[in-house]
Structure formats: structure tokens, C-alpha cells
Amino acid sequence: MAFFVLPLFSLQQQTSNLFMPHKSSPLVRLGSKKKRKGRLTQKGRQIDAGAQQDISELLADKPLRKELLIEYLHLIQDKWAHISSRHLMALADTLKLSQAEVYEVATFYHHFDVVKENEIAPPPLTIRVCNSLSCCMAGADDLINELVEQSPSSIRITAAPCMGLCDQAPAAAVGKNYLGKVTAASLLNTAKNKQTQAILPTYQGYEQYLDANGYQLLASLNNQTFSVDDVLKELEKSNLKGLGGAGFPTANKLRIVKAEPSPRYFCVNADEGEPGTFKDRHYLSTTPHQFLEGMLIAARLIEADKIYIYLRDEYAAINQLLHHEIQHLIDHKVIKDSYIDIRRGAGAYICGEESAMIESIEGKRGIPRQRPPYVAHQGLFGQPTLVQNVETLYWILSILRNGGEHFAKQGKNGASGLRSFSVSGRVNKPGVIVAPAGSHVRELIDLAGGMLEGHSFKAYLPGGASGGILPASLDNIPLDFGSLTEYGCFIGSHAIIILSDKDSIKTTSQNLLAFFRDESCGQCTPCRVGCEKASSLLSEQQWNKPLLKELCTTMADASICGLGQAAPNPILSAIKYFGEDV
């Protein structure tokens, strides 16, 4: 056995064939019967050094907090007009998120174009054409067809949900340039001239607002000439309700959040997405400071630690405007730097639902939470959170200036206060109409310049896509929270869409259900599957009304949030009031 006698502790290389199996030996694949190859890298997708460089440059001066994921996805989408998986991977690594976490968020929001390896990126410019109800009534479908035929390959044409320009239907966006009353020619011309950025509207600026006694109420609250209790009392007297659509008494909500332990957050819901609704856009783009002061007063009432304004991405001009005006507030020491964060939505109607909005602010998919717990108790980052709609905050100033009672008295037919009705459809002067709560639809049609010539009033949607459809015969209902319940409808965000004898209830219902189908977050069965099946059933020649009714009942009863619960409203209204049409 001399063969094996090796010097001890030898530094020489000693190898013997007997101790080193050959590659061809049966030992090499001990357990495997099939021949397999190992991986060449660690598991899964590898990080691309170039993409990592891109992302580190893009985020050079930015905080690397996970909750900012959506903001950073925007930066990538803005810069490269799509989000490649290389960049997405590098972003995940930078934010210490997993691939799954970034991918599910990036694909949830329609304003992000995720392009995987071996996929072709979309053209650098996209024209989005609104195909929600008011715009469809104004010929959006034809417009899309025309554009598809006429546009060069460097432009992508897509349909998109309501852009909040229903008073200027049909509406479309060339890049970030959102335009009303468009034609195929005007859009292609805009694209050709590379007018793809948002255009600032003219609005009441900071100085002008100061001249009109702006920010005095906030100051008097701060120097305690006006107390928090005084404000709450006035708001209580005013009977102001949440005008995002739920109608919860504002003073109550403020008191509930105020009683919770700090830190308390304040999220402003500026994700106005209910088809037919554009009042928040109106106030934000004309009198932003009245909204901002109302917001700061509310923040003061609950001693909010931070304010987040969740602004829908379609309001790109308002985004610029707000950044600009908030900077004024910082410069003039009205607020501290970084007290207010503006967060961009990314093309998801569901994020108008308050808990979905909160999820989105946390950098996640916008899926509604189960209630209870209510967001007032456990909202943003699990902390007590006040959520208010833009218009609600806008009214605070008027109420405090003129007294709560004065505001309350302006309602009629048993309702109280003023409301901003977004009126669109077959009227002469669509627009935001400020009218007493409790007004009737005919009054609103009159205020909107009456019916279009050649159109006779047939039906109306009292609360956008989700509030149901009422026949013209029911034109004497006071339009207010709660007053439409017995008719299977609701007022919601006060988006009144007027239909005429030229409009088909069947087509209208299909349009609305297609909207809900596309905008359902997908979380719960009744809404995810229900909207899709309902949409399919509505496209059938003959509606299966008993099955639709069963489906609608379950959707309304068992969906997690208002989207799924309200999606059946148009179907049930159509069957109830327009039986012959459907």
C-alpha cells in the first residue's frame, strides 16, 4: 500500500486518481436519473449594471423609501416612455423590494407600461382618448378609429377612462397634454408640434388670494383668535358633508380623527375619477388657495403630522400648479418644508376609494381594505388618518367666512348647503354648476343652458357611473345624499350626465359596466368576476334579466368596496326603468 503513503502536511499538490472521481464517473450525478444542467447565475433575473447606473442617477437626490415606489415608477416612465424589466429590477434592488413587489404595483396602474425582455416597447408618444360615457356620447369611439387609421407608427392610440373633462367632450391627452373638444386632426397636430406637456391654466395665485383676505382665517386659528372648537362648531352648523361621494358629516369625521392618538395623517383625495365628475378639477385649477387654506385649517384641527395630496395623474397641469403654489406657502413660512407631499396617481379609478388611495400612497397596489377598522382609526401606515375630498375642503373657507348657518340655509327641498354639480351630456353649457343641495334635475338642465337642440330629455345619471340611471319622468327628486336610495340610485359625487332620446340605455349600461370591469381592482370575487360576467351578459342580444338580477344582488351584497357594490346600479336601473329598451 505504499501508493497511499504521502508526506504529512505536505504543501505540494497531491492528487490521486482514486481520490478524484473522473467527470465521466457515475458519481457525478449521484441522484439524478435525467441529465440536467445547472444554472449559470443565481436564481432568477440578474441585475443589469447599466440599468443600475440609470436608476442611481435618476434617484441621485431622492430618499430611498419603499413607499415612494410609485413616484419612482413615474420617473422611469416619464424618462423612457416605458418601464423595462431591466430598470424595474434595478429599482427593486435600490428600494430593497422584491421583484414581485415592484412588478405587481407597476402592472396594476395603467399609466405604467412594463416591457419585459423580448417585448417591444410602445412608441414614445401615446394619445389617450377618453371613452367614458360623456365622451362616448360625443363620438369618442369614432375618434379612436379615425386616429388609429391616421396616426403614424410613432404614436400609440389607446382608449382611457374619464379624464375629468366631460364638460369639454370629447377629451384626449397627447402625452401629458390633456385637451377638450378634440378632433383627430387637432390631436395629430398637437402631437406633431410636440405639445406633449401639461399647460398651466390661469388661476388665482398666492398674491391675489392674499389680496382677497386669503390665509387670514388660518392665521387667526394659529394665533388663537379663532379656536379649534369655534371652527368645529361652525362646520357642524353648516352640515357640510363629504363631497367625494359618501356624504359623511365633515365635523364628525374631524372630531373622530382628532380624538385618536398621534401621529395622525391627513390624506386629501384629489383622485377625482368618477365618470362625469370634474368639480375638483375646476376648483383646483381656478382657486387652488381656497382649497389649500381649507386643507390647512382641517390639518390644524386634527394636528395632522403630515398631509398627502393624492392627485390623479390625469391632472398633470394641476400637479405643476400645486407644486408651484405650495412652494409659495413654504417660502412664506405658512407651512414647513415637506409638510405636504403631492402623490401622483397612476391611472386607477379605484384609488379614489379612500383605503385604496391609502394603499397607493404607501406605494402598493390600490386595493381597498376591509372595514372595520376605519381609516380614521387605522389609516395611512396604520395610523389615524383624515381623508377629505377637495371640494369639501374648498367649502370650509366660505363656511367660516359667512357662518355655518348661512351655508346650511342655502339648501332646498329639505337638503342643506351648496353643491357643485358636474353637469355633462346633452346640454348646451356643460360645466360645474353650483346650486343648492336638493335641486331637481330640470333646474340643473336649465342652469346648464337647456337641452341640446334636437335632443329631448330621456334619462339622467345622478351620480356618475355608479349612481344608477333615472328616467326623465323622475325629474322631481331632490338631489341629495340619501334621497335617491329608494329609487336604487345615489348622488355620489354629484356628477349629472344628461341622456336624450338619441342615447341608448343598453349602450350606456354596457359602457358603464365595461368601465367597472376595467377598473375593478380584482381583489374580491363578486366584483372581479362579477363585473366581467355582467359585462358579457350585457353584450348578449337578449339580456338574461333573472340571472343579471341574481348577480347584481350578490355584487351589491358581497363586494368589499363601493365599486363592486355600486357597479350593478346601472343594470338594475336599466331593467327597472327602461325595461322596453333592454
Partner 1 sequence: MSDSVSFIIDGKKVSADSDETIWQVAKRLGTTIPHLCFNDKPGYRSDGNCRTCMVEIDGERTLAASCCRYPANNMVIHTQSERAKSARQIVMELLSTDLNQETLSGSEFDNLAQSMQLAPSRFPKNSPAPSDLSHQAISVRADACIHCSLCVRACREVQVNNVIGLADRGQHEKITFDFDDPMGESTCVACGECVQACPTHALLPATPNVNEVDKQVQSICPYCGVGCQVKLNIKDNKVSSVDGANGPANQGRLCVKGRYGYDYISSDQRLTEPLIRKKGMEKGINIDPANPYTHFRKASWEEALDVAASGFSASKKQHGSDSLAGFGSAKCSNEEAYIFQKLIRAGFGTNNVDHCTRLCHASSVTALLETIGSGAVTAPFMAVKDSDLIIVIGANPSENHPVAATFFKQATQLGAELIVMDPRALALKQQATHMLQFTPGTDVALLNAIMHVIVNEQLYKPDYIEQYTSGFEQLTAHLQNFSPEKMQSICGIDADTIKIVARKYATAKSAIIFWGMGISQHTHGTDNARCLISLALMCGHIGKPGTGLHPLRGQNNVQGASDAALVPMFYPDYKDINDPEAKAFFESLWDTSLNEQAGLTVIEIMHAIHNDTIKSMYVMGENPAMSDPNLNHARTALATLDHLVVQDIFLTETAMFADVVLPATAWLEKNGTVTNTNRQVQMGRKAVEPPGQAKPDWWITHQIAQRLGLNWPYKSPEDIYQEMQLAMPSLANISWQRLDKEHSVTYPCSAPDEAGQDIVFANGFPTEDGRGQFIPASFLPPNDPLDKEYDFILTTGRLLEHWHTGSMSRRSEQLNALEPEAFVQISHLDCAALNVKAGDLVCISSRRGSIQIKVRVDNKVQSGLVFIPFAYVEAAANLLTSHDLDPLAKIPEFKYSAVKITTI
Q: How far is the CB of 39 from partner 1 (least distance, A)?
A: 7
335 binds partner 1 (CB under 8 A): no
Residue 517: what residue type?
A: R
212 binds partner 1 (CB under 8 A): no
118 binds partner 1 (CB under 8 A): no
Rounded to 10 deg, the angle between the 279-286 and 288-302 helix axes is: 100
Interface positions, 288-317, toward partner 1 (CB under 8 A): none
134 binds partner 1 (CB under 8 A): no
Q: How far is the CB of 302 from partner 1 (least distance, A)?
A: 24
- Taking every pair of Cα atoms in the chain, the longest distance, rounded to a whole number of angstroms, is 113
CB contact at 8 A, 564 and 465 = no
Q: Is 403 left (phi over 0), alpha (psi -120 to 50) or beta?
A: left
483 binds partner 1 (CB under 8 A): no
**Which residue in the set 438, 530, 568, 570 belongs to the binding site for partner 1 (CB under 8 A)?**
530
**Cβ closer to partner 1: 38 or 261?**
38
Q: How far is the CB of 313 from partner 1 (least distance, A)?
A: 15
Q: How far is the CB of 92 from partner 1 (least distance, A)?
A: 9
Q: How far is the CB of 399 from partner 1 (least distance, A)?
A: 29
H or E stretch including 178? strand 177-179
Question: CA 507 to CA 441: how far, in whole Å?
Answer: 22
**Which residue in the set 2, 20, 60, 120 belongs to the binding site for partner 1 (CB under 8 A)?**
20
Q: How far is the CB of 527 from partner 1 (least distance, A)?
A: 8
Q: How far is the CB of 525 from partner 1 (least distance, A)?
A: 5
557 binds partner 1 (CB under 8 A): yes
Determine how β-strand 431-436 pairs with β-strand 418-425: antiparallel
- Of 198, 158, 217, 181, the C-alpha closest to 317 is 198
- Backbone dihedral angles phi then psi of residue 440, each to the nearest 5 degrees: -95, 160
| Sign, CA torsion 337/59/69/317 | positive
Residue 436: what residue type?
A: P
**Which residue in the set 27, 149, 223, 454 belongs to the binding site for partner 1 (CB under 8 A)?**
27
Q: How far is the CB of 113 from partner 1 (least distance, A)?
A: 13
CB atoms closer than 10 angstroms to residue 545: 15
541 binds partner 1 (CB under 8 A): no
**Cβ closer to partner 1: 225 or 536?**
536
Question: CA 465 to CA 515: how far, in whole Å?
Answer: 8
Rounded to 10 deg, the angle between the 69-80 and 85-94 helix axes is: 150
Interface positions, 347-366, toward partner 1 (CB under 8 A): 348, 350, 365
**Cβ closer to partner 1: 218 or 521?**
521
Question: CA 81 to CA 140: how far, in whole Å?
Answer: 24
Site string for partner 1, 254-293 (x = CB under 8 A): ----------------------------------------
Question: CA 71 to CA 362: how far, in whole Å?
Answer: 11
**Cβ closer to partner 1: 37 or 333?**
37
- Is residue 566 classed as helix, strand or coil in its secondary structure? helix
**Which residue in the set 141, 341, 475, 532 belongs to the binding site for partner 1 (CB under 8 A)?**
532
Q: How far is the CB of 249 from partner 1 (least distance, A)?
A: 17
H or E stretch including 160? strand 155-160
Q: How far is the CB of 530 from partner 1 (least distance, A)?
A: 6
44 binds partner 1 (CB under 8 A): yes
Q: How far is the CB of 225 from partner 1 (least distance, A)?
A: 42
**Which residue in the set 181, 194, 547, 579 belongs to the binding site for partner 1 (CB under 8 A)?**
547
CB atoms closer than 10 angstroms to residue 215: 20
Q: How far is the CB of 348 from partner 1 (least distance, A)?
A: 7
131 binds partner 1 (CB under 8 A): no
Tell me whether residue 16 is exposed, middle or buried, using C-beta atoms within 10 angstroms of its C-beta: 0 to 12, 13 to 18, 19 or more.
exposed
**Cβ closer to partner 1: 131 or 523?**
523
Interface positions, 508-527, toward partner 1 (CB under 8 A): 517-526
Site string for partner 1, 71-110 (x = CB under 8 A): --------------x--xx------xxxxxx-xx--xx--
Taking the CA atoms of residue 47, residue 51, residue 52 and residue 55 in that order, the dihedral angle to the nearest 10 degrees is -140
- Of 191, 130, 195, 193, the C-alpha closest to 158 is 130
50 binds partner 1 (CB under 8 A): no
Q: What is the DSSP secondary-structure string of 256-311?
A: HHHTSPSP-EEEEEE---STT--HHHHHHHH-HHHHHHHHHHHHHHHT-SEEEEEE
34 binds partner 1 (CB under 8 A): yes
How many residues make contact with partner 1 (CB under 8 A)? 92
**Cβ closer to partner 1: 193 or 541?**
541
**Which residue in the set 31, 63, 261, 454 belongs to the binding site for partner 1 (CB under 8 A)?**
31
Q: How far is the CB of 532 from partner 1 (least distance, A)?
A: 4
Question: CA 204 to CA 207: how far, in whole Å?
Answer: 8
246 binds partner 1 (CB under 8 A): no
